């Protein structure tokens, strides 16, 4: 039987949930008696996220095998991360010359791997193609544009993404609407997350032992922040934090999971002790996938600037206050049947959104093909290329 060699590249936290179902679907394909081609897979981790909490724990929880190669690029400026990834990955790709290089999402690893693969004239496929925020100040938008311009196969999560690509002149034969691979992970892990105890998570992940222990039976809000527009701009961060401390936390307990970047900025901006001293705010170390899903399952409202959480809230029906002025995932907004509302860091909009959304019932919504079977469709499409 012919073998098709696939090399996938991951680098940062939001990549891991996307590659886990892809690897499972490859294994399932290889076990299938009808398979006409065997798939050999190599997993490369660039090492952009390297902490146990930001990386290893996701491999364990999601059952991802340890990477075959770790490029160890670590933290740094964008040019440093992209440059180091390209230099290290080029050697691996020259050595292996896979039939396909597969990249996921929109982080620096995605864009660096896409450029390196295409400069070596290798086939490259992008999972989660076609998303556009139209905000060129976001590093992720640049990563998405470059990756999609170079990709040979573009696996999109929804029809809006297809339309974005068509408008940019991508030949329709390269575009495959396969649905959202994040939802494969959500569906596969929902039962396990439901079984977890909320209070166990809170005690295990608490940042400081003296931190607040509010009762959660009357509901709670989950907060995550990490985008430069919110946390690197001291005025924006100060406004958001004051709203959380002085207003939001007076009506609902706030469970705040802290990205390393955010914690650094809170400490540098002199806001850390005020957050820690607020009785209704519980600060947690970064959570693994199951813990985060458990929090989302019962949250009254989620306040976030994460794209992935916006999608998970959409399927779970959790009202989602999206702390961004644009989104590359409009399919999750109320206008498209979702539960997310864009409020940027405009305090008036945030206040109004928080008051309205926390009163809403959960309203689960699945856009077409967000059915938990996206990864097998991707694997099928890649396997079919072996007969071309
Ligand atoms: C990256 C992605 C972003 C994604 C986010 C989710 C890009 C351009 N951005 O942003 O799309 O939503 O991950 O997590 O790729 N740090 C640690 N431990 C780690 C990793 C990072 O302490 O394991 C610290 C470092 O000090 C670093 C900072 O966090 O400077 C930010 O990490 P970085 O990889 O630069 O970008 P993110 O903000 O995480």
Domains 2-180+369-387 and 188-357 share a fold: yes
As a whole number of angstroms, the distance between CA 132 and CA 123 comes to 23
- Main-chain dihedrals φ then ψ at residue 236, nearest 5 degrees: -65, -45
Ligand 1 within 6 A of 18 CB?
no
Percent of the chain with pLDDT over 70: 99
Nearest in space to 82 (alpha carbons), one of 58, 110, 118, 54? 110
Predicted TM-score (pTM) of this structure: 0.96
Nearest atom within ligand 1 for CA of residue 106: 11
Nearest in space to 294 (alpha carbons), one of 363, 172, 182, 192? 192
CA dihedral (193, 194, 195, 201) positive or negative: positive
As a whole number of angstroms, the distance between CA 153 and CA 127 comes to 9
CATH of domain 188-357: 3.40.50.2000
Cβ neighbours of residue 107 under 8 Å, at least 6 residues apart?
A: 11, 12, 14, 15, 48, 140, 143
Whole-number Cα distances in Å, 123 to 26, 99, 258, 349, 366: 18, 6, 37, 45, 31
Ligand 1 within 6 A of 83 CB?
no
Ligand 1 within 6 A of 239 CB?
no
Distance 11 CA to ligand 1 centre (A): 10
Which residue's CA is the nearest one to ligand 1's atom 19? 49
Cβ neighbours of residue 293 under 8 Å, at least 6 residues apart?
A: 186, 189, 190, 193, 312
Q: Where along the chain do its domains lie?
A: 2-180+369-387, 188-357
Taking residues 370-388, report their average pLDDT. 95
**Per-residue model confidence as pLDDT tens digits over 87-102:** 999 999 999 999 999 9
**Per-residue model confidence as pLDDT tens digits over 211-232:** 667 888 899 999 999 999 999 9
As a whole number of angstroms, the distance between CA 8 and CA 98 comes to 10
**Per-residue model confidence as pLDDT tens digits over 287-309:** 999 999 999 999 999 999 999 99
Nearest atom within ligand 1 for CA of residue 14: 6
> 226 catalytic, yes or no?
yes
Ligand 1 within 6 A of 118 CB?
no
Pocket residue to mutate for ligand 1, from 260, 308, 322, most atoms within 8 A of Cβ:
260
Region for residue 93 given its phi and psi (left: phi exceeds 0; alpha: psi -120 to 50; beta: otherwise): alpha
What average pLDDT does the structure give for the chain?
A: 96
**What's 2-180+369-387's CATH class?**
alpha beta
């Amino acid at each position: 039987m012919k073998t098709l060699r696939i090399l996938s590249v991951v680098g940062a936290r939001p990549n891991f949930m996307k590659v886990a179902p892809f690897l499972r679907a490859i294994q399932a394909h290889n076990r299938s008696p009808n398979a006409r081609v065997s798939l050999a897979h190599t997993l490369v981790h660039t090492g952009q996220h390297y902490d146990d909490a930001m990386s290893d724990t996701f491999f364990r929880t999601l059952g991802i095998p340890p990477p075959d190669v770790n490029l160890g690029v670590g933290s740094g400026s964008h040019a440093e991360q992209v440059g180091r990834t390209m230099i290290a990955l080029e050697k691996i790709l020259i050595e292996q010359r896979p039939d396909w290089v597969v990249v996921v999402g929109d982080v620096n690893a995605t864009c660096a791997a896409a450029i390196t693969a295409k400069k070596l004239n290798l086939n490259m496929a992008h999972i989660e193609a076609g998303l556009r925020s139209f905000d060129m100040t976001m590093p992720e938008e640049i990563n998405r544009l470059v990756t999609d311009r170079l990709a040979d196969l573009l696996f999109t999560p929804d029809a809006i993404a297809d339309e974005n690509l068509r408008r940019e002149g991508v030949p329709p034969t390269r575009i495959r609407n396969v649905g959202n691979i994040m939802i494969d992970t959500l569906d596969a892990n929902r039962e396990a997350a439901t079984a977890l105890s909320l209070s166990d998570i809170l005690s295990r992940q608490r940042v400081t032992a003296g931190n607040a222990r509010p009762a959660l039976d009357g509901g709670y809000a989950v907060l995550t922040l990490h985008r430069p527009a919110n946390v690197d701009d001291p005025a924006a961060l100060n406004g958001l934090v004051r709203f959380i401390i002085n207003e939001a936390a007076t009506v609902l307990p706030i469970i705040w999971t802290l990205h390393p970047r955010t914690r650094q900025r809170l400490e540098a901006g002199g806001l850390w002790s005020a957050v820690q001293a607020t009785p209704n705010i519980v600060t947690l170390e970064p959570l693994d996938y199951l813990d985060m899903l458990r929090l989302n399952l019962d949250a009254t409202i989620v306040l976030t600037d994460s794209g992935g959480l916006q999608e998970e809230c959409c399927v779970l029906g959790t009202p989602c206050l999206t702390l961004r002025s644009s989104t590359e995932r409009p399919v999750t907004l109320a206008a498209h049947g979702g539960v997310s509302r864009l409020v940027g860091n405009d305090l008036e909009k945030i206040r109004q959104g928080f008051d309205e959304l926390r009163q809403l019932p959960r309203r689960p919504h699945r856009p077409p093909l967000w059915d938990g079977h996206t990864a097998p469709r991707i694997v099928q499409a890649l396997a079919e290329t072996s007969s071309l």
